[in-house]
C-alpha cells in the first residue's frame, strides 16, 4: 500500500511503486480530468502539480509522490482555477477539449509565478503542451486575460 496526498486528501492505493502517477489518479482514484496523450512526456495532457511543480504524470512513478502533495485539475486552487476558467470561457478556447486540463495546469503555474506574463513567457511555459485542434492563439489571449483577472 502506498499513502498519498491528492487534492488535499489522504489516500491509500495498492499499486506497484513504479506505476506512473497518471494511472494512479485515473484508474485507482477515478480522477479522470488528467489525460493520457502520449505516455512519453511529449504532449503535456497529463500535467499535474507535485508540491506546486508542474510534472508529466505519465512518466513520473508514484513513488516520487510519497510524502508530497499531488494536485490535479479537479483540485486546482480556486485562486488560479477561477480566473483561468473565466478567461477560457470568455475566449471560447477549447475545441475538442482533451488537452485543456493540461493546458490549464501549465497556465496555472505561469500565472501563479508571473503577474504579467509576456508572450515570450507564454511560449516558454506552454510549448510543452500540444493542442491538435490548434487553440494556441486563444490560449495565449486567455492567459493574458486570466493574469489580469487574478490581480
Partner 1 sequence: MNDNNSLSRRKFIQAGAAVGGGLLLSFYFPAFGKGIKNAGIPAPVNFAPNAFIRIGTDDIITVIVNHSEMGQGAYTSLPMLVADEMDADWSKIRFESAPVDPVYNHLGFGMQATGGSTSTYTEWERFRKAGATGKYMLIAAAAQTWNVDPSSCVAEKGFVIHKSSNRKLSFGQLVEKAATIAAPQDVKLKDPKDFKIIGTPVKRLDTPEKINGTGVFGLDINVPGLLTAVIARPPVFGGKIKSFNAGKAKSIKGVKEVIETSRGIAVVATGFWPAKLGRDALEIVWDDGELGSLDSKSQTSQYAALAGQPGAIAKNEGDTKAVKGKANINLEAVYDMPYLAHAPMEPLNCVADVKADSCEIWVGTQFQTLDLMAASRITGLKPEQIKLHTTLLGGGFGRRAVLDSHFVSEAVEVSKAVQAPVKVVWTREDDIRGGYYRPRAYHKLSAGLDAAGKPLYWQQNIVCQSFAVGTPLEGMMVQNGVDSTAVEGASNIPYHIPNLHVAWNMAPGGVPTLWWRSVGSSHTAFAVEGFVDELARAAGKDPYQYRRMLLEKHPRYLRVLDTVAEKAGWKNALAPGRGKGIAIHESFGSVVAHVAEVSITKNKTLKVHKVVCAIDCGQIVNPDTIKAQMEGCVVFGLTAALYGEITFEKGRVKQGNFHNYKMVRMNEMPVVEVHLLDSQETMGGVGEPGVPPVAPAVMNALFTLTGKRVRNLPLRPDDLKKKI
Query: If binding is defined by CB under 8 A, does position 80 make contact with partner 1?
Result: no
Q: Which of 85, 114, 144, 145 binds partner 1 (CB under 8 A)?
A: 85
Q: Is 12 in the site for partner 1 (CB under 8 A)?
A: no
Q: Which of 11, 33, 50, 69 binds partner 1 (CB under 8 A)?
A: 33
Footprint (CB under 8 A) of partner 1, residues 120-139: 122-124, 126-139
The secondary element (H helix, E strand) that includes residue 141 is: helix 136-150
Within the chain, strands assigned E span 2-6, 9-13, 47-50, 53-56, 69-71
Site for partner 1 in 57-76 (CB under 8 A): 72-74
Whole-number minimum distance, CB 19 to partner 1, in Å?
5
Residue 45 near partner 1 by CB under 8 A: yes
Q: How far is CA 135 from the centre of its chain?
A: 17
Burial of 44 (0-12, 13-18, 19+ CB in 10 A): buried
**Is residue 94 at the binding interface for partner 1, with CB under 8 A as the rule?**
yes
Question: How far, CA to CA in Å, does 77 sit from each of 18, 61, 109?
Answer: 28, 24, 11
- 20 - beta bridge partners? 61
Query: C-beta of 51: minimal distance to partner 1 in Å?
Result: 20
Residue 39 in contact with partner 1, rule: CB under 8 A: yes
For partner 1, the binding residue among 8, 10, 30, 67 (CB under 8 A) is 30
The residue with cell 492505493 is 13
First to last CA, the chain: 42
* Contact residues for partner 1, defined by CB under 8 A: 15-16, 19-20, 23, 26-28, 30-40, 42-43, 45, 72-74, 81, 84-85, 88-89, 92-101, 104, 122-124, 126-140
Amino acid at each position: 500500500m502506498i499513502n498519498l496526498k491528492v487534492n488535499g486528501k489522504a489516500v491509500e492505493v495498492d499499486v506497484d511503486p513504479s506505476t506512473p502517477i497518471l494511472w494512479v489518479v485515473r484508474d485507482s482514484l477515478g480522477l479522470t480530468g488528467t489525460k493520457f496523450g502520449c505516455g512519453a512526456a511529449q504532449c503535456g495532457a497529463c500535467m499535474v502539480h507535485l508540491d506546486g511543480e508542474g510534472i508529466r504524470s505519465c512518466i513520473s512513478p508514484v513513488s516520487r509522490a510519497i510524502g508530497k502533495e499531488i494536485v490535479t485539475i479537479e483540485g486546482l486552487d480556486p485562486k488560479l482555477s477561477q480566473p483561468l476558467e473565466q478567461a477560457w470561457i470568455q475566449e471560447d478556447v477549447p475545441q475538442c477539449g482533451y488537452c485543456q486540463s493540461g493546458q490549464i495546469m501549465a497556465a496555472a503555474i505561469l500565472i501563479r509565478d508571473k503577474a504579467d506574463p509576456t508572450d515570450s513567457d507564454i511560449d516558454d511555459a506552454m510549448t510543452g503542451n500540444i493542442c491538435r485542434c490548434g487553440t494556441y492563439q486563444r490560449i495565449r489571449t486567455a492567459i493574458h486575460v486570466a493574469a489580469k483577472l487574478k490581480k
